Amino acid sequence: MLKVIVLGSGNVGSHLVNLFNNSSQIDLVQWYSRSQITHKKTEVINNIDLLKEADIYILCVSDNAIKELSDKLTFKNKLVVHTSGSTPFQEISKQNKRGVFYPLQTFSKTKELDYTRIPICVESENKEDLEFLKKLCDKINCKYYEIDFEQRKTLHLAAVISNNFTNYLFGLSKKIMLDKNLDFEILKPLINETVNKIHKLDPIESQTGPARRNDQNIIDMHVKMLENKEHRNLYKIFSQMIKNIYDN
């Protein structure tokens, strides 16, 4: 059994605790949280000095807290990894063996997830630790990818655009509908199909709509309908960028 300790009780920490608890191959030794929490299955501590012996310590804390928390660890030469998409492993204190365990998924504490489909991007300072990280991914039935810092930053950038920005647009669409007393449910099949299409078609092929058809009358009408100046600019920028792709 691999002995694991999770540090941090935000979105990622909470999901990793569930994931490790669900695996018969993992001994989740402890869960460190600076705020007071309780858990039925796992020993929770909020004093860093009470950390026990484990094979790996996974820091699931805000990017700007990785250094501070790792500096507080009192042990040496253990494998300590973080879960950030845009932070080098060098942020972790040198007194331990350093690495990255970056799960490429969007985690919200309140939303259940199918953990088997999560790609984990692994990186480590020492070769033998990389083997350990791969073994850990195997034990929790997750697919791993050996990804260096430059590649991880690019993945994170693509993830922000495809998830965070898209989700912002879902929220904006919802607001536009609710403002006119329209049920957001009506739009959901379209949103689902937009995402499903990427499994069959290249996004360039699957684009539809007024900008793709270069229908300026509709574009102008939509821009006028938007009350917020920033939303009007957003609509114009997106339309122009789509038009640029299909102009030729």
Ligand X SMILES: NC(=O)c1ccc[n+]([C@@H]2O[C@H](COP(=O)([O-])OP(=O)(O)OC[C@H]3O[C@@H](n4cnc5c(N)ncnc54)[C@H](OP(=O)(O)O)[C@@H]3O)[C@@H](O)[C@H]2O)c1
Q: Which residues contact 208 (CB under 8 A, 6 or more apart)?
A: none
CB of 120 to ligand X, least distance (A): 10
- Distance (Å, whole) CA 49 – CA 73: 8
Using CB under 6 A as the criterion, which residues of the chain lie in contact with ligand X when the complex forms? 8-13, 33-35, 60-63, 65, 68-69, 83-85, 102-103, 106-107
CB-hemisphere CA count at 13 Å for 184?
12
The CB-nearest residue to ligand X is 10
Nearer to ligand X, 10 or 88 (CB): 10
108: tokens are 């919200």
Nearer to ligand X, 101 or 132 (CB): 101
Nearer to ligand X, 14 or 239 (CB): 14
At CA 79, angle to CA 55 and CA 87, rounded to 5?
A: 135
Any idea which residue has 């917020």 for tokens?
228
CB of 139 to ligand X, least distance (A): 20
CB of 220 to ligand X, least distance (A): 38
CB of 67 to ligand X, least distance (A): 9
* Dihedral-angle region of residue 141 (phi above 0 means left; psi in -120 to 50 means alpha; beta otherwise): left
Nearer to ligand X, 68 or 215 (CB): 68
